[in-house]
Chains A and B, each alone.
Chain A
């Protein structure tokens, strides 16, 4: 794994070249300029939980073909940042711009599966919800990618946590656009085989110039895939 640590503390408190200007070539996030049209640009993003600031003036960008691993302690606000990046929450301050207006896929802690639907029905619903063509062959192929194809007719309530996670992540196998994926602890509850399958999906997505923004408490094992680490300090800045 080639790891490029950037913007670890440099971007904390928003060391942005020109925060007011939206002309991307003039903006520096952390210690690097935003050159090509970025998949995601976060400028001076702040988030508060009650009276406590989770983070303030946080800036970073994600380029096409880049995987950014957001690291930090429990409670540091990683999930909050992912939700803001996905457009599910509004930041207290700052802006987040995602190429195409919204991420291609967001998979949070919850798997978005209904206990009373079968695996196939659940995945087909999610696919149609996101405007994806979903003939049964593609659904089956996606389930096969995550090695959960043999449970395709089972009700979700009968699946283990790891199997549920596989079904949720199988949605990624339906995506073929080079979009931004935002994944909150995607490897949770997965076994070695499941982690390998997800890694292959991530590698294929990056190869087609898609980008990935994820958190994980497990070390990423992506050989031949550059990973940018984004350290997320815990607690509010002074």
Chain B
């Protein structure tokens, strides 16, 4: 039954995003535009671009994911939908998980799809691009899950958008390090398995811990 509300909330958020396509596309547009500025700023040297590419792509992905976090629960809070979700017979944990899933599908997944294009832009090798995509597949859900905690904690607060960044960005540093490190390892001829395994471990940890934490934060924020 609670699994039902997980899909119910996620499907509703996807439907709403489908009806506001421009807003839904903003994170991926920001991701592409921000990453595209770096070659203009640091110059067209292929070696330099190849060297900074993993870090640039991951930082831009991180910022793009943060961009839409402040609206994760805010609109439902404003129109009263969140009250109904908390009062439903379903688990609030599943509600929080459903919201995080929708956020990842709307933000993380488009970033993953756009990342190879940026890889080509930065003259990355095919193997590096594949590793970067694998890292994003494992890392972007962590960003959404951690972001859901920050969004729930800052719900209804003034300057909530800035507070989310201050709360969530430090928690995302390991994802950034292991994600960029995986591509760096491949670039110097080493295996990326260690970094990707750690990203996988972070994902498992976030999957287990983030929805209950976000649910508890929602209850605190609403009361």
Contacts and interface: CB of A to CB of B under 8 A. Distances in A.
A179 to B, nearest CB: 11
A146 interface: no
Contact of B80 (A87, A109, A116, A130): A109
A112 B89 contact: no
A86 B97 CA distance: 23
Contacts of B4: 128
Secondary structure at the B interface, as helix, strand, loop or mixed, is helix
B125 interface: no
A128 to B, nearest CB: 6
B6 to A, nearest CB: 12
B88 A111 contact: no
Contact of A113 (B1, B79, B85): B79
A126 B84 contact: yes
B223 interface: yes
Give the interface residue-count category, chain A: 20 to 34
A106 B79 CA distance: 14
A125 interface: yes
B80 A131 contact: no
A112 B81 contact: yes
A87 B83 CA distance: 10
A88 B89 CA distance: 13
B138 to A, nearest CB: 31
A128 B89 contact: no
Contacts of B88: 129-131
Contacts of B89: 102, 130-131
Interface of B: 1, 4-5, 8, 12, 15-16, 19-20, 75, 78-81, 83-90, 222-223
Interface of A: 86-90, 102-103, 106, 108-117, 121, 125-126, 128-131
16 contacts: A88-B87, A89-B223, A102-B89, A109-B80, A110-B83, A111-B80, A113-B80, A114-B16, A115-B79, A125-B8, A125-B12, A128-B4, A128-B8, A129-B84, A130-B84, A131-B1
Given A89-B223, A128-B8, A129-B85, 19 more contacts: A89-B222, A102-B87, A106-B87, A109-B80, A110-B78, A112-B81, A112-B83, A112-B84, A114-B12, A114-B16, A114-B79, A115-B79, A117-B12, A121-B15, A129-B84, A130-B84, A130-B88, A131-B88, A131-B90
